[in-house]
Structure 1
Amino acid sequence: MTGSEGGGGHGPGPLTVLVTGGSGASGIAAARALSAAGHRVATVGSDPSRIRQAAEKAGDRVTPFTCDLAVLEQVRRLRDDVTAAFGTVDGVIHLVGGWRGAKGITDQTDDDWDFLERGAVTTLRNVSRVFFDDIAASATGRFAMVSSTSLAKPTAAVASYVAAKAAAEAWTLAVADGFRRAAEAGTGQAAASILVVKALVDDDLRRAHPERKFPGATDVADLAAAVVRLFGTPSTELNGARLLLAG
């Protein structure tokens, strides 16, 4: 697929959606569901081989790109590459994060914090800054991240994790305010949303741990279906919303 096939959802035709964290189970599921819904999908990972294999699993309309999203200059080059191939994007589904835990407050390590801050916060900041104007200009612009129900009642064992997720949520809500101001100025109808889960589960995880029941977990296929619904739901219902996905 080349850029000659369309310029994204700023005009007629299918939308162009960027899925970050595309090598993981949730990224593959989201890319597959968006592709099945008729959208052009650019999926992003940091490992060239893994993201190519993931894109093949997700479907023919899914194109892989390699980028370290924690490096701003690489994200800027990613935008140039995606725009050259498909035109400007209409949406970004941000599925990069990671998890680290501990026993309590005193053993929360700096290494774990650096990992979580880089994965959950820095990548989101970079992607949202670089792609903000494109999404804001789209008639169906969407930005979404995945967060955790644990933010409602943080525990000592996951202090670093919930703090990083809280920062990512706050940034996303600020993006939502930016989209609101753009819409009031007559630019697009974009929305930024937070998809909230207790945990995510997929078939491979179930096979690897047949003894576990995964209570309250959301299947990645259900997350993917929620992602697709974002593009068919009015922005006024989504912008700044925390959407709880029941397990």
Structure 2
Amino acid sequence: MTATRTVVLAGATSDAGLATATALIAAGARVIATGRAADRLTPLRDAGAQTEIADATSFVEMTALAARLGTVDAVIPLVGGWRGGGGLAGQSDEDFDALLPALQAVRATSRAFDAPLRASDAGRFAIVSSTVVTRPLAGGANYAAMKAASEAWTRAVAQGYAKAARDAGAELRAASAVFRAEGALQPDALARAVVALWDRDAAELNDTVIALS
């Protein structure tokens, strides 16, 4: 990746968030890590990230953060979690509601940072999904549905980037992509993939699925 990129990791208080922040900082990026609790942001701050108390699922809070930051080169929403089991009968409303913030974070961050990412010379938006979207199971229907919706939204973001560039008669500079994990998310695999987002130009990267391995 090109050094000095500004990267927002939204909802970054997981192990994957810390691993990704650490890898980006080692590559020379400026990392802004968000979370809802100050104490959970401490490891990220100790790793060298700028930390911001902000709710990644809130369009209002993400818009305020975007206004404060100005130039941004990448946004990666990392709100996640898994609920499942019990077959189709076990797909409770409570589990669905618990999974919903992941989709809400994808929507809020992509909308709030749309203009800054399109203004960057190499803007990147990427989400973490799962191979369950290719073969949904009854016991994970809530989870698969949420991941599929997140992927659909991210593809719409990609189309928006392409259309904006085409309408302006400009080269495509922003790209939206999906990371797909098979099984449990491996933090180091995600970290490597995020750092490599700038290894491909936007036209090649936009609207692609990247397998995490």
TM-score, normalised by the number of residues in structure 2: 0.93
Show CA shifts across 1:210-235 (max 9, x none): xxxxxxxxx31121011000022111
> What's the offset of the Cα at 1:77?
2.0
SS state of the match for residue 28, structure 1?
Answer: helix
Stretches of structure 1 that go unaligned for 5 or more consecutive residues are: 1-11, 202-218
Q: Return the offset for 1:187.
A: 6.8
1:93-122 CA deviation, whole Å, 9 max, x = no partner? 1211211102111221111111111x2211
CA distance in 1, matches of 2:81, 2:74: 22
Task: Label 1:107 to 1:73 Cα distance change in 2 as closer, same or farther (>3 A).
Answer: same
Identify the residue that residue 236 of structure 1 maps to in structure 2.
203
Is 1:35 the equivalent of 2:25?
Answer: yes
Partner of 1:107: 90
Task: Flag structure 2 segments of 5+ consecutive residues without an equivalent.
Answer: none
Whole-angstrom distance in 1 between the partners of 2:173 and 2:140: 36
Q: For 2:174 and 2:18, locate their aligned partners in 1 and report how far apart those are by CA, in whole Å.
A: 24
Residue type of the alignment partner of 1:164: M
Cα separation, 2, equivalents of 1:229 and 1:121: 24
Aligned-residue identity in percent: 39
Distance in 2, Cα, partners of 1:187 & 1:77: 28
Report the Cα offset of residue 133 of structure 1. 0.9
Q: Relative to structure 1, is the Cα distance of residues 111 and 159 closer, same or farther in structure 2, using a 3 angstrom cutoff?
A: same
Report the alpha carbon displacement of residue 75 of structure 1 after superposing the two structures with TM: 1.6
Structure 1 residue 198 corresponds to structure 2 residue 185: no
Q: How much has 1:200 moved relative to structure 2?
A: 3.6
Distance 2:9 2:102 in 1: 15
Distance, in Å, in 1 between the alignment partners of 2:45 and 2:154 is 26
Deviation per CA, 1:13-41, whole angstroms, max 9, x where unpaired? 71111012211111111111111111111
Aligned length: 210
Residue in 2 that maps onto 1:15: 5
Do 1:137 and 1:187's aligned partners in 2 also have CA atoms closer than 8 Å? Answer: no
1:215 maps to none
Does the aligned pair in 1 maintain the 2:20–2:188 contact within 8 Å? yes
Residue in 1 that maps onto 2:194 = 227
What do you get for the CA RMSD once the two structures are aligned?
1.6
CA distance in 2, matches of 1:13, 1:182: 26
The residue number in structure 2 matching 1:207 is none
1:121 aligned onto 2:111:
no
Q: Which moved more, 1:45-54 or 1:126-135?
A: 45-54
Query: CA–CA distance in 1 between the matches of 2:65 and 2:183?
Result: 29
Q: Could you say what secondary structure the match of 1:231 adopts?
A: helix
Structure 1 segments, 4+ long, off by >6 Å, are: none
| Matched letter for residue 140 of structure 2 | V
> Residue deviations 1:181-240, cap 9 Å, x none?
122222750000000111345xxxxxxxxxxxxxxxxx3112101100002211122100
TM alignment of 1:140-159, pairs within 5 A: 140-159=122-141
